[in-house]
Structure 1
Amino acid sequence: MLLSVLYVIGITAEAVTGALAAGRQRMDLFGVSVVACVTAIGGGTVRDILLDHYPLTWVRTPVYLLVIIAAAIITVFTSFLGRYFRPVFLVLDAVGLSVFAVLGTQIALDLGHGAVIAAVSAVVTGVFGGVMRDLLCDRVPLVFSEELYASIALIAAVLYMALEHVGMPELAVVLVTLGIAASVRLVAIAFRWGLPVFEYQEREVHRAPENRLSRALDRMRGSDARLRLRDRPRSGGPHARRTRRGRGWWGGLTRHRPWFRRGGGRD
């Protein structure tokens, strides 16, 4: 019962974030509703498909769709109040992430999967809705940036399995996991904790397009000029070569030695 209530709170908070993201892209009401639904239940849908867990959560309980769409429409008409409730949204988002991670872990374990698949299920449930939201809104997904988001889902999954392994009651395991995971998320936001970022920049020579075109045209003109020079016919025929003294060495001999004839010696 507790998880069901927290789940409704979580999908409501995610629907609000999805609606606001759609509003930044100037979408209509249908687009806002779609982005809100993808944000709120996209992660759980991907999880159920991967784990072959049917029927899907929102198919089994369609009222969740109505809650999400209602939250999205209300957000459209009350968005001007968003800056006043930002701390509340951050808390609800942290709680929603923790709830999604716990539910993903529980479903994977109930289906007989091991710890690795349970952890993956928690991460997919917690973050894939936001990933699809950002992709639909043409942004780099938040989970791939510096903030601790997917890591919180992983921490929640590991903590849940560890507490369950030591024999704590189910309700205590859920409450402790939710409290610690949500608290770590809020502390990470407050102190700007994040994972190391890999940055690689290849050195490139940037040249304006018009300069690249002019250089290409210059190369083409140079090639044409060399081609015309090579193919230009020489005066006197293709095999004639002129020198200062005459038409080659043969011309020099015949000009300065009139006694020389092709057929013999002196006359």
Structure 2
Amino acid sequence: MTAGRYKERMLDTVLTGLDWTGTAIFAVTGALTASRKRMDIFGFILLGAVTGIGGGSLRDMLLGVTPVFWIREPVYLGICVVAAAATFFLAHIPESRYRALLWLDAAGLALFCVIGADKALAAGTSGFIAVAMGIATASFGGIIRDLLGGESPLILRKEIYVTAALAGAAVFVGAAMLGMPQLPATLAGFAVCFVVRALALSYGWSLPVYRARAGRTAEEIDKLGQ
């Protein structure tokens, strides 16, 4: 085996490992939501699975990649089932399940925004679409998790969430298009997304929200018509 071929195989192994890790992390966040809602083990597995593979499924369907990744490679579904079932027995360990969920979700968000963007680039999309696919991959599973868990989705709250995924995916895509090797570009995108999200969690950062203006008086409306 040539040195170049060996390096390529090692890179594929590392990236696959990161993909599996992200799937497991998101599956655990789904299971932790199930623990807070006191669901049975099947509820844990359901929320774990939809969180772990939901974003990637949406990405593949939008890109026209069929069957979706976890049907082609059932190991992803297996990871979700094992991670969620394990959480059913271990969820009592974290002192604050919601805090643990937020930090695990931040790690999953950072991994999946880069992985999603990478798979979109590999499918031949433009950089703009690759960033969008990174955001979709990173956020859609969490949306399903929160909706099934009866909670307001993180993506719809004013705290910084999608912005972090956007930053991470954009850094990765930009680095890849500038010719940076795949692994350093992946690590750069992951680091940017995770740091932005971590700072938002630590310091309560949020984007400005829309504030309604005070209604006009009858006199002001009359003046507008003159």
Shorter-chain TM-score: which interval? 0.7 to 0.9
Contact 1:7-1:96 within 8 A present in 2 as well? no
Contact 1:35-1:133 within 8 A present in 2 as well? yes
Say if 1:33 and 1:199 are closer, same or farther in 2 by CA, change over 3 A. farther
Deviation at 1:46, TM superposition (A): 0.8
Q: Which runs of 5+ in 2 are unaligned?
A: 1-12, 216-226
User: Which of 111, 115, 135 is the equivalent residue of 1:103?
Assistant: 115
Say if 2:127 is the partner of 1:112: no
In 1, the alpha carbon distance for the partners of 2:126 and 2:179 equals: 17
The equivalent residue for 1:133 is 145
The equivalent residue for 2:7 is none
Q: Which has the higher contact order (CA 8 A, sep 6+)?
A: 2
The equivalent residue for 2:205 is 193
Deviation at 1:7, TM superposition (A): 1.9
Deviation at 1:60, TM superposition (A): 1.6
Q: Deviations over 1:196-219 (max 9, x none)?
A: 22355999xxxxxxxxxxxxxxxx
SS in 2 for 1:108: helix
Contact 1:13-1:89 within 8 A present in 2 as well? no
Q: Deviations over 1:138-194 (max 9, x none)?
A: 221111102221111111121112212222222221122222221222122111111
Contact 1:10-1:93 within 8 A present in 2 as well? no
AA at the equivalent of 2:199: V
Say if 2:68 is the partner of 1:56: yes
In 2, the alpha carbon distance for the partners of 1:142 and 1:95 equals: 14
Deviation at 1:116, TM superposition (A): 2.2
The equivalent residue for 2:191 is 179
In 2, the alpha carbon distance for the partners of 1:118 and 1:102 equals: 9
Say if 1:83 and 1:140 are closer, same or farther in 2 by CA, change over 3 A. same
Contact 2:29-2:104 within 8 A present in 1 as well? no
Q: How does 1:231-242 map to 2 (within 5 A)?
A: none
Q: Percent of counterpart pairs with the same letter?
A: 38
Say if 2:163 is the partner of 1:151: yes
In 2, the alpha carbon distance for the partners of 1:10 and 1:101 equals: 10
Say if 2:36 is the partner of 1:24: yes
Say if 1:78 and 1:173 are closer, same or farther in 2 by CA, change over 3 A. same
AA at the equivalent of 1:185: R
AA at the equivalent of 1:107: K
More helix by share: 2
SS in 1 for 2:95: helix
Contact 2:164-2:192 within 8 A present in 1 as well? no
Contact 1:101-1:157 within 8 A present in 2 as well? yes
AA at the equivalent of 1:154: L
Say if 1:140 and 1:94 are closer, same or farther in 2 by CA, change over 3 A. closer
The equivalent residue for 1:241 is none
Contact 1:38-1:129 within 8 A present in 2 as well? yes
The equivalent residue for 2:177 is 165
Say if 2:22 is the partner of 1:10: yes
Corresponding residue pairs, total: 203
SS in 2 for 1:188: helix
Larger radius of gyration: 1
* TM-score, normalising length: structure 1: 0.69
Say if 2:105 is the partner of 1:93: yes
SS in 1 for 2:93: helix
Deviation at 1:87, TM superposition (A): 7.2
User: Which of 83, 96, 116 is the equivalent residue of 1:71?
Assistant: 83
AA at the equivalent of 2:137: T
* TM-score, normalising length: structure 2: 0.81
In 1, the alpha carbon distance for the partners of 2:143 and 2:38 equals: 19
How much is the aligned-residue C-alpha RMSD, in angstroms? 2.3
Say if 1:9 and 1:202 are closer, same or farther in 2 by CA, change over 3 A. farther
SS in 2 for 1:82: coil
Contact 2:114-2:186 within 8 A present in 1 as well? yes
Deviation at 1:23, TM superposition (A): 2.6
